[in-house]
Amino acid sequence: MNYPPKHHQDNDINHIIEVIKTYPLATVISVKDKLPLVTHLPLIYEDEKLIGHIDIYNPQTELLKNNNDVTILFGGPQCYISPTVYSTTQLPTWNYIKVHLKGKVKAIESKAALKQSLITMTEFLEAPDHNYVLESNNPRLDANLNYIEMFEISITEWEGKFKLSQDKNPKDKRLAREELLRANQESIKQFLDKVF
């Protein structure tokens, strides 16, 4: 690996938002009694806030309210880049895209807002084909509203970490990009063949 790590701090809000929209499954971290509570949830970026839903029985639920502090992580594509990928002599490295956010979280108590938010999130996640539409009169939706809490996070700090061989020449950057695409597609297939 390259030491010290050469990563590109990318605090261009548009790049960060694009990661959130493309890879909405977030790692949500809260702290209670100096111990972290971690949950993985899809979050939707809407009106400069993150909107999410959590099962009322999740122990982190009680912390996702009252303007509590929360840390949120999003991850994009990542992979090992072998020196054999480049056209010039290089050392091994790892390319990745990560987003780190901090914010204040509050609960949204309205069942009507929760219901509409679940419909809106489903619509967003079904894009671009929209094969499924969560109808507002779906009886299963209404039956589950009492078991889900909605929350919104006001983002206070944004940090994008884009380590994508930016320090290489244009040809090697292009080769690293091609390897990121190839390796992600191949590693997903190999992994799923083993576990699923």
Q: Where are the alpha helices (DSSP H) in the chain?
A: 13-22, 111-126, 139-144, 170-195
**26, 72 in Cβ contact below 8 A?**
yes
- Split at pLDDT 50, 70, 90, the class of 11 is low
Mean pLDDT of 131-151: 96
Task: State yes or no: pLDDT of 95 exceeds 90.
Answer: yes
- Split at pLDDT 50, 70, 90, the class of 168 is very high
Mean pLDDT of 137-161: 96
Mean pLDDT of 110-125: 97
**Residues in a beta bridge with 157:** 102
Mean pLDDT of 15-20: 95
Average pLDDT of the chain, as a whole number: 93
Q: What is the pLDDT of residue 8?
A: 52
Mean pLDDT of 134-158: 96
Q: Which amino acid is at 163?
A: K
Q: What percent of the chain has pLDDT over 70?
A: 94
Q: What percent of the chain has pLDDT over 90?
A: 89
In whole angstroms, give the CA distance from residue 177 to residue 85.
Answer: 10
Mean pLDDT of 132-158: 96
pTM here? 0.89
Mean pLDDT of 111-122: 97
Task: State yes or no: pLDDT of 175 exceeds 90.
Answer: yes
- Split at pLDDT 50, 70, 90, the class of 5 is very low
Q: What is the pLDDT of residue 2?
A: 34
Task: State yes or no: pLDDT of 39 exceeds 50.
Answer: yes
Mean pLDDT of 1-30: 77
Residues 6 or more apart whose CB falls under 8 angstroms from that of 17 comprise 45
Task: State yes or no: pLDDT of 36 exceeds 80.
Answer: yes
Phi and psi based region of residue 158 (left: phi greater than 0; alpha: psi -120 to 50; beta: remaining): beta
